[in-house]
Amino acid sequence: MRLTLRGRTFELDREVAVMAIVNRTPDSFYDRGRTYALDVALDHAAAQIEAGADIIDVGGVKAGPGSEVTEEMELERVVPFVEAFRERSDVPLSVDTFRAGVAREALAAGADLVNDVSGMAEPEIADVVAAFAGAALVVMHAGGPPRTRPFRSAYLPDVTTVVVEACRRLAEQARDRGVPADRIIVDPGHDFGKNTFHSLELTRRLPELVVLGYPVLVALSNKDFLGETLGLPVDQRLEASLAAAVASVMLGARIVRAHDTLQTVRAIRTVESILGWRPPAAAARGLD
């Protein structure tokens, strides 16, 4: 399994990509607008690269409910970041958006990947990705309309079966619209339209999603299902996030989206070495 973004090839049979989050929103659930300003967002992205991030993921709209953000507002938040980031770095850049118009402008400005967390609410987003050579698309099971919270969600016969089938269908839809199969990534959508039991089950049954043959992205970092699992507020979920990331990689995930980049990179690189994919940085113990 191989994914190439801006000349960087990820050999996902033996490698895990860490995707670092940059929020250009004033109301994000985790950083509460700390990286909203353009210069701060760019500095934060640079720091994530220094910490070992393989991909930067920038978003201009809070995923959950909040103040209205028009397409024009989202463009003003995202495109200047993409342009300025691309002047500074050739690291692969993802844009978190469900709008085809934003995806088009972001890719034209230098983004490489569209991370659509809506379940292709605007199917034209796949047409946009297909029109840009080398661009890739994340399709996700959203479990409801964009920017809504779940209420007594129920899945029959079970959440994993439904999510796997939905991701298979979304990937096929993207392919039918011209996105090459090797440019498609699937995301089970932890917390999106799901309760804590659903997200925990999806994590332990990730191999059923891996079987589809597309790289699996997991966005677990500091999410509510981890907070509810341990009874912890959002600013105390690091250890749970790392544990979930490690478990997900062991079960087949190959892209991990994270807020705490340095800690996530160290955890994931350790797993790669345990699996025999990455040699130790040093191995003098017992040899001299």
Which of the residues are catalytic? 223, 257
Determine the Cα–Cα distance for residues 168 and 153; give it in Å rounded to an integer: 21
Burial class (CB in 10 A: 0-12, 13-18, 19+), 150: middle
Amino acid (one-letter) located at 197: F
Contact 36, 78 (CB under 8 A): no
Residue 2 Cα distances to 10, 56, 228, angstroms = 6, 18, 35
CB 280 within 8 A of CB 40: no
Contact 267, 246 (CB under 8 A): yes
Torsion angle in degrees (nearest 10) through CA of 36, 97, 48, 193: 100
The span from the CA of 192 to the CA of 62, in Å, is: 13
The token pair at 25 is 């929103």
Residue 71, amino acid: E
Distance CA 77, CA 75 (A): 5
Going by their DSSP bridges, the two strands 2-5 and 8-11 should be labelled as antiparallel
Question: How far is Cα 35 from Cα 82, in angstroms, rounded to an integer?
Answer: 14
